[in-house]
Amino acid sequence: MNLFVTLLRRETTALFVSPIAWAVIAVFLLLMGYTFTMNLFIAKTASLTHIFFQAAALLVLIVPILTMRQFAEERRGGTLELLLTAPVPEHAVVLAKFGAAWIVTLVMIGLTGVYAIVLGIWGTPDWGPVYAGYVGLVALSAALVSLGVMVSALTSNQIVAAMVTLGLFTLMWMVDTLATLLPAGIDNVLIGVSLLAHVTPFATGALYTSDFGFFIVLTLAGLFFATRALGRR
């Protein structure tokens, strides 16, 4: 546990020392703030449903930038060799990398809580969907960060890691649109792996264990394969 905390502290510090985390948080909040303002003052709706959909879509675009360096940079700089020849189990390294990048995404998501507070002050929002939306974003971000860390563990090139992760996320986001072209049976499989299909219930205020399960399975699978990728030397 102490070992994990030591690694997590270093990883989190490394992310916040680099300008990437700050740039990502700033751009995310800028775009979210723009949408919230338009939603509130032009559409005049006291709801965060649009905000949650946009936040989810932005996470799909932004998480690859956060996770691309996690292992790729260590591999390129040789520090991975230093880390993995110390008496440290691979899974502790993976969990620390995952934890650090997830903390950054949680900070981003947490800061959008200001919008909920503003809604609460100036209007009477239905709080159920607001809570559900945030739970959904937290679950989605865990799955995305885990998959991003997994891809980063497979390459020493940050750009390759970012592009492969982005491609994977985009495909998983919109794969359900392909379902309409496929025969019954197969279409359900594609809908079952679609990020959008599992985010939508959360964003609209519905909590299903199947959606939770989906994101938990993705998160665990990403961490498992990242650990396997590190062990494959």
Partner 1 sequence: MSFPEAGAPAAPAFSLPAPVVQARGLVKWYGRRKAVDRVSFDVMPGEVVGLLGPNGSGKSTILRMLTGYLAPTDGIATIDGCDVLTDSLEARRRVGYVPEDVPLYPQMRVHEFLAFMARLRGVAAPGVAQAVDDVVDRLRLGSVRALTISKLSRGFRQRVAIAQALLGEPKLVILDEPTNGLDPRQIIELRGVIRGIAERHAVLVTSHILAEIERTAQRALILLDGRLLGQYVIGSGEPLEDVFLRMTEAEGPGAA
Residue 54 or 152: the one with the smaller Cβ distance to partner 1 is 152
Segment 107-112 long-range contacts (CB within 8 Å, at least 24 positions apart): 107/25, 108/24, 108/25, 108/28, 108/29, 108/62, 109/55, 109/134, 109/137, 109/138, 109/141, 111/25, 111/29, 112/29, 112/32, 112/36, 112/51, 112/55
Interface with partner 1 (CB under 8 A), residue total 21
Site residues for partner 1, window 78-117 (CB under 8 A)?
78-79, 81-89
- By CB under 8 A, tell whether 167 contacts partner 1: no
- By CB under 8 A, tell whether 32 contacts partner 1: no
- By CB under 8 A, tell whether 22 contacts partner 1: no
Q: Which residue has the tokens 């970012």?
A: 162
- We find the least distance from the C-beta atom of residue 222 to partner 1, in angstroms, to be 23
- We find the least distance from the C-beta atom of residue 29 to partner 1, in angstroms, to be 25
Residue 14 or 27: the one with the smaller Cβ distance to partner 1 is 14
- We find the least distance from the C-beta atom of residue 97 to partner 1, in angstroms, to be 14
Which of 153, 187, 28 minimizes the C-alpha distance to 84? 153
Other beta carbons less than 10 A from residue 19's beta carbon: 9
Residue 18 or 177: the one with the smaller Cβ distance to partner 1 is 18
How far is residue 37 CA from its own chain's centroid? 24
- We find the least distance from the C-beta atom of residue 167 to partner 1, in angstroms, to be 27
Stretch binding partner 1 (CB under 8 A), from 4-12, 110-118, 134-142, 216-224: 4-12
- We find the least distance from the C-beta atom of residue 89 to partner 1, in angstroms, to be 7
Please tell me the distance from the alpha carbon of residue 123 to that of residue 109, in angstroms, as a whole number.
Answer: 21
- Binding track over 36-75 against partner 1, x by CB under 8 A: ----------------------------------------
- By CB under 8 A, tell whether 197 contacts partner 1: no
For the chain, the distance separating the N- and C-terminal CA atoms, rounded to the nearest angstrom, is 25
CB of 146 closer than 8 Å to CB of 223: yes
CB of 199 closer than 8 Å to CB of 53: yes
- By CB under 8 A, tell whether 228 contacts partner 1: no
Q: Which residues bind partner 1 (CB under 8 A)?
A: 2-3, 6-7, 10, 14, 17-18, 77-79, 81-89, 233
